[in-house]
Amino acid sequence: MDFEHLEFGKQISDHMLVCDYFNEQWHEAEIVPFAHLSLSPATLAFHYGQTVFEGMKAFRMQDGSANIFRIDKHYDRFVRSLDRMCMAVPPREIFVEGLKQLINLDRNWIPTQDNCALYLRPFVIATEKFLGVRVSTDYRFIIITSPVPSTFAKAIKLKVETDYIRAAPGGTGFAKCGGNYGGAFYPTQLARQQGYDQVLWTNAGENNFIEESGMMNIMFVIEDKLITPPLSDTILDGVTRDSLLTIARTLGYKTEERPVSLDELESSFRNNTISEAFGAGTAAVVAPVKTISIHGTDFHLPEYSHENLSAKLKLNLEQIRTGRAEDIYGWNSII
């Protein structure tokens, strides 16, 4: 394994956890060598979208131990996503103990390089063999892991999307279900063809307020305040978003979780009151933004510097989860 040249999502570690639900109960979880699955083509997950996943990370601590970051917050979100998709929920104990034992076994897969981590992908799929459209009776819970670098090491360009939407009120936007991502590919591909890295989603209908970006929540620094759209049923409750807001408050910065309109964003560029914009997510951690296109006009942000609030927050977060700073929030689960 060449840890110096990691690519996100390419290498999968040696083992996986597998646990099946049938006859209305979860059965014994097993950790087995990573292997292909054998499933009927009539398996419900292939047809009607009952698939839910989590994305989290384990870090190598300074003393050599392993740390799973904010396991409980990820589990709670997993439960909310599964409930929304009418899927069986693996018990917390299987999730937590399963992750710990899996990482303990594959601990040599946790990279030690700066900004690298072991990405953890717990997911549930509907496994009943049935072609009719209805809720599955059977499920499989699987955890696989993958050594990764942070994505978006370079500053990115975002296109505010006003023609397509990712989520609508009453929909599944707050859930980490596969369909949300499938539906986002087409507008994202269009944005890529136009030279942008990701879209910045807006609210369904009026398309006049910012929601979030591809696999990240969005944060702005306007007049020295850290501002991010409030959580709702159309925005994923990002663990990184919450962590960065918490750290910012501890460091004494003003934070605001409130709607951000396109008009406000555009005026903040025209008045030079916006100093930073960045995406916040498990994969990227902090992705500095260099350009935002609003209604076809590119607005540029100052060059990213280590003096930026986003850089300070990122450093603080990295220090906590690698044991270089005290975990005053109780976010680490040390193995």
The phi and psi torsions of 11 (rounded to 5 degrees) equal -95, 130
Minimal distance in Å, beta carbon 200 to ligand PLP? 12
Grouping H, G, I as helix, E, B as strand and the rest as coil, residue 102 is helix
Give the nearer residue to ligand PLP in terms of CB position, either 70 or 140: 70
Is the CB of residue 47 less than 8 Å from the CB of residue 32? no
Q: How far from 140 is each of 52, 128, 170, CA to CA, in Å?
A: 11, 9, 27
Give the nearer residue to ligand PLP in terms of CB position, either 29 or 285: 285
The 3-class secondary structure across 14-62, one letter per residue, is CEEEEEEEECCEECCCEEEECCCCCCCCCECHHHHCCEEECCEEEEECC
Give the nearer residue to ligand PLP in terms of CB position, either 105 or 171: 171
Minimal distance in Å, beta carbon 279 to ligand PLP? 8
Binding stretches for ligand PLP (CB under 6 A): 55, 212, 215-217, 236, 238-241, 280-282
Is the CB of residue 125 less than 8 Å from the CB of residue 19? no
Q: Which of 187, 191, 192, 158 is nearest to 293 (CA)?
A: 158
Give the nearer residue to ligand PLP in terms of CB position, either 43 or 217: 217
Give the nearer residue to ligand PLP in terms of CB position, either 149 or 281: 281
Q: Give me the sign of the Cα torsion angle 268, 271, 273, 274.
A: positive
Minimal distance in Å, beta carbon 84 to ligand PLP? 14
Minimal distance in Å, beta carbon 162 to ligand PLP? 18
- Measured CA to CA, the distance from residue 233 to residue 227 in angstroms comes to 19
The phi and psi torsions of 8 (rounded to 5 degrees) equal -60, 125
Grouping H, G, I as helix, E, B as strand and the rest as coil, residue 334 is strand
Give the nearer residue to ligand PLP in terms of CB position, either 136 or 282: 282
Grouping H, G, I as helix, E, B as strand and the rest as coil, residue 134 is coil
Minimal distance in Å, beta carbon 133 to ligand PLP? 26
Minimal distance in Å, beta carbon 58 to ligand PLP? 14
Q: How far from 317 is each of 62, 238, 257, CA to CA, in Å?
A: 14, 14, 20
Give the nearer residue to ligand PLP in terms of CB position, either 16 or 215: 215
Minimal distance in Å, beta carbon 198 to ligand PLP? 11
Give the nearer residue to ligand PLP in terms of CB position, either 145 or 240: 240
Minimal distance in Å, beta carbon 303 to ligand PLP? 25
Take residue 191 and report the two structure tokens written for it.
């944005």
